[in-house]
Chain A
Amino acid sequence: MEFFRITRDIPFMRHALAFNVISLVTFLLAVVFLATKGLNLGVDFRGGTVIEVNYGHAVDFTRMRAALDKLELGEYSAQAFGRSDTALIRMPLAEGLSSAALSEKVMGALKADDPTATQQRVEFVGPQVGKELYENGALALLLVSLGIVGYLALRFEWRFAVAAIVANLHDIVIILGFFALFQWEFSLPVLAAILAVLGYSVNESVVIADRIRENFRKMRRATVTHVIDNAITSTLSRTIITHGSTLMMVMSIYFFGGETLHYFALALAIGICFGIYSSALVMATLVMWLGVSREDLVKPEKKGGAAGDKILP
């Protein structure tokens, strides 16, 4: 079986400008959504209390809300969670009321109202911890970006490093844009997914960069555009099969992994799809605009062993 039967190189670079415009528009849209709607931060980052309650039967939300209203908790939300017999109650941080007391109070009221109510999960995050988790997340993102730029600059050339990180941060912003647009809950696992996507998409850029370097060496008389077109075309089947495989796994998590991993899988799926596009088309066009040339890549190879020619273990 062979899915990809490509006779000649696809002239991707001829449409470079168009791709860049598409990227820019999507990127700007994402930024607009982030700016206007903002992220729907989960309890991990914002602080507050989440209680998951399971009933022996489908949840009667009117009754449940009536029971909760009597407690005068202030603002709260109660929604179905995954299944019809499970409800999720979210409460923002309350002044002067400790979490310990809060979850006991809520469960007490719900149990009094309906004895089948059982507490499945409680999560409480204080304001200080929430802020720290948020800051640590941002720091991790920065560190990953710097680490990747550093490594690629060392292994390839600064143009590739810059192009790869721009392409991949563009993916991250787009994922965040989706989360802002649909107001999906942004939690710690989602952050983990986003950082994993960052590492993973760079993977893709590396494969193409590797091929561009190899082509510069092999295709002595070809133009830069031709070299890049050939690199993208010849890695196309690998790109799609690999990402398809990863996507299969991610979909498996999405469908079978339960509610907790729902947005985690979603973030990964979006990241993988945009990762294909951005590494092939955004990264490569950026490298071209930045003016990569044969001399930039082929020169260092005369000095020592080339990266592509490493001996197998």
Chain B
Amino acid sequence: MNRYPLWKYIVIAVALSTGALFALPNLFPEVPAVQVSSAKVKVDTALLGTVEETLKAANIPFRGAALDATGIKVRFADPDTQIRAKDALAAKLGDNYIVALNLLSASPQWLSAIGAMPMYLGLDLRGGVHFLLQVDMKAALDKAADRYSTDLRSLMRGEKVQYAGIAREGANVVLRFRDEAERTKARLAIEKNYPDLLLREAEASGGDLRLIAGLKPEAQKRIQDGAVAQNIQILRNRVNELGVAEPIIQQQGAERVVVQLPGVQDTARAKDILGRTASLEIRMVNDEPGVLEAAVAGSVPLGSDLFTERGGAPLVVRRQVVLTGDRINDAQPGFDSRSNEPAVHVNLDGTGARIFKEVTRENVGKRMAIVLVEKGKAEVITAPVIREEIGGGRVQISGRMTTREANDVALLMRAGALAAPMEIVEERTVGPSLGAENIDKGFKSVLYGFVVLSAFMCVYYLLMGLISTIALSVNLLLLVAILSMLQATLTLPGIAAIALTLGMAIDANVLINERIREELRWGATPHAALQAGYERAWGTIFDSNVTTLIAGIALFLFGSGPVRGFAVVHCIGILTSMFSAVFVSRGIVALVYGGRKKLDRISIGQVWKPQAPPPAAPTKA
């Protein structure tokens, strides 16, 4: 009676040992660390060597440096050394690398090797900034329409269509014609070349024939998706500058972007950098003989600047700006149609195209520099030679570029401005000291609640209460282990959910214990009472947990931020509590009582029996 098959013990043992293993990293404290990563350059063992040498040269003691998928991580004994090391490394490595402060778990290497990591703390526990940014989709579509009006103008010229005017009105491009034949000609040309446009004919009051070109819905969606993707890319570039160890930048819904910067303290700077508009300038290269040598030697000619090209070569650039970035509608990587070399296709707006045509006509054979000015610092993205006069606003930059370089250049040219403006619609900033305080408070509320609850259970149900307490501890262990495994974000409401889940989980054990007492009260033998108690209680436990789970899942689906953290813990807690309260506690009971053939009493506290009917059972508890 009340024996438990071996396989069930094996299941319990496996669950417990796995749980213990994955919960283990949470016991180790966090140590200050510096993380070196790069978005531009590959981080490899050579860099690891440089990092170690730099620290040794600067006489900064460190506790081991390691290279992993996210970059190089160096641990230090205290925050002061950490900050000194960060400064030393940032000075040595320069702009191509991101040197960030971070906290890393002090858990041994073999634990991280099997993927056991401490729970992932949310911003309210570790401090940091959370922004929700909304992309202005109307602006993105307007910009696209701008681009199309340039394209259509050059198409009309190319096809020799007589038109009276082309203008953008809202998100549409309106073409005006004098006669029907030209309009039909234009219509056919546009339909052939721009399948994304939806054309509609209309007559204006002035007698003009109009052709209204609007984007098809699927093209609109593609542009909007592209705008969000591009903005995310730009945000990523900017965040890299901030030196944040584990930034999260991701799309939320159709037109929002979430930016989470754990550990960032200077929120003013974060907002500044995220909201900054970098500017792109096209300027002429000063390639008079001798100028470059003189400039490198220290005497930059008047009206010129000395810049470094990407790749490191110096370049003297005239101060006069030919064109600014807002004249650039788009820049895309692609291939030269003749030579098939990687190239960047740049699309200028109407005014830009006109200026560009003049400048290129006058400067054939000379070089022009495309300069990205960000944070008051200028960088020459590329400096191509002008081969011929370029009209129509469609520019191609090619020659000696790899596909990756073409991608980078296109990205940087687009980075001059966001694809569409963004606005902060939600901000949550938590200071690091408040985060630490929240962890402490959360921990205390779980601890004290647990202690009082365990004490009560042990006093009220004696041995059965102790078993329930053990089951509850198993529940806590598994909950922490699963949270660590999933790397689900733990927030302060999440910790509250741990406490609450424990309080609710005890329900299952109370239900079982009360059932057993009741069976004993009506005269069942101890073995039969245990059996019946667990069996009868199971259906109830199952039903009541399912309803709680329904609430948890709804919270997860509709909640955001801290509430979602609550829901995750709540749902997982319900599942682990079903396992531990029924499966594990039954296993312990079987271990304690199952072996005894003749069982006189169960240590479950006093079972009070009414004096009146029903008849008293022979067993006494």
Contact = CB atoms under 8 A, between A and B. Distances in A.
B98 to A, nearest CB: 23
A298 to B, nearest CB: 15
Interface string A115-131: 00011111111101100
Interface in B264-294: 267-268, 271, 275
Interface of A is mostly: helix
Nearest to B132: A129
B395 to A, nearest CB: 36
Interface stretch (B83-91, B169-177, B499-507): B499-507
B424 A124 contact: yes
B506 A242 contact: yes
B451 to A, nearest CB: 9
Contacts of A195: 551, 554-555
| Chain B interface category by residue count | 35 or more
Contacts of A6: 610
A202 B500 CA distance: 16
B221 interface: no
Contacts of A120: 430-431, 433-434
Contacts of A192: 493, 555, 559, 562-563, 566-567
B606 A308 contact: no
A103 B79 CA distance: 28
B438 A260 contact: yes
B31 interface: no
B538 interface: yes
B582 A313 contact: yes
A71 interface: no
Nearest to A202: B547
A227 to B, nearest CB: 16
A44 B251 CA distance: 21
A264 B493 contact: yes
Given A120-B434, A121-B434, A125-B426, A258 B441 contact: yes
Given A104-B268, A122-B267, A252-B448, A246 B504 contact: yes
Given A104-B268, A120-B433, A312 B586 contact: yes
A266 B554 CA distance: 22
A256 to B, nearest CB: 4
A6 B14 CA distance: 43
B424 A1 contact: no
Interface string A1-22: 1100111100000000000000
B534 to A, nearest CB: 6
A140 B429 contact: no
A98 interface: yes
B449 A253 contact: yes
A309 interface: yes
Contact of A249 (B453, B550, B563): B453
B453 A98 contact: no
A206 interface: yes
B452 A252 contact: yes
A203 interface: yes
B43 to A, nearest CB: 33
A206 B540 contact: yes
Nearest to A101: B271
Interface string A134-156: 00110110011001100110010
A155 B543 contact: yes
A96 B452 CA distance: 52
B204 interface: no
A2 B607 contact: yes
Nearest to A139: B558
Given A189-B563, A199-B547, A242 B496 contact: no
Contact of B442 (A118, A191, A214, A257): A257
A280 B103 CA distance: 50
Contacts of B448: 252, 255-256
B16 interface: no
Interface in B531-546: 534-536, 538-540, 542-546
A241 B514 contact: yes
Interface in B437-457: 437-438, 441-442, 444-446, 448-450, 452-453, 456-457
B551 A261 contact: no
A144 B511 contact: no
Nearest to B492: A260
A189 B500 CA distance: 13
B547 A245 contact: no
B605 interface: yes
B612 interface: yes
Contacts of B444: 256-257
A257 B124 CA distance: 13
A258 B605 contact: no
B362 interface: no
A200 B499 CA distance: 14
A292 interface: no
Contact of A202 (B441, B544, B562): B544
A242 B457 CA distance: 11
Interface in B400-459: 423-431, 433-434, 437-438, 441-442, 444-446, 448-450, 452-453, 456-457, 459
A87 to B, nearest CB: 13
Interface in A270-313: 306-313
Contact of A261 (B423, B426, B492): B492
A75 to B, nearest CB: 20
A177 B23 CA distance: 41
A248 interface: yes
Nearest to B491: A189
B561 interface: yes
A98 B424 contact: yes
B262 interface: no
Contact of A121 (B429, B550, B608): B429
A248 B449 contact: yes
A174 B459 CA distance: 34
Given A207-B511, A242-B510, 7 more contacts: A151-B546, A188-B562, A188-B563, A245-B503, A258-B437, A261-B496, A312-B534
14 contacts: A122-B267, A139-B558, A140-B559, A189-B496, A203-B545, A206-B544, A210-B543, A238-B514, A242-B506, A248-B452, A253-B500, A255-B448, A257-B496, A313-B582
List of 8 A-B pairs having minimum Cβ-Cβ separation, nearest first: A199-B551, A249-B503, A252-B449, A126-B425, A246-B503, A140-B558, A203-B544, A147-B550
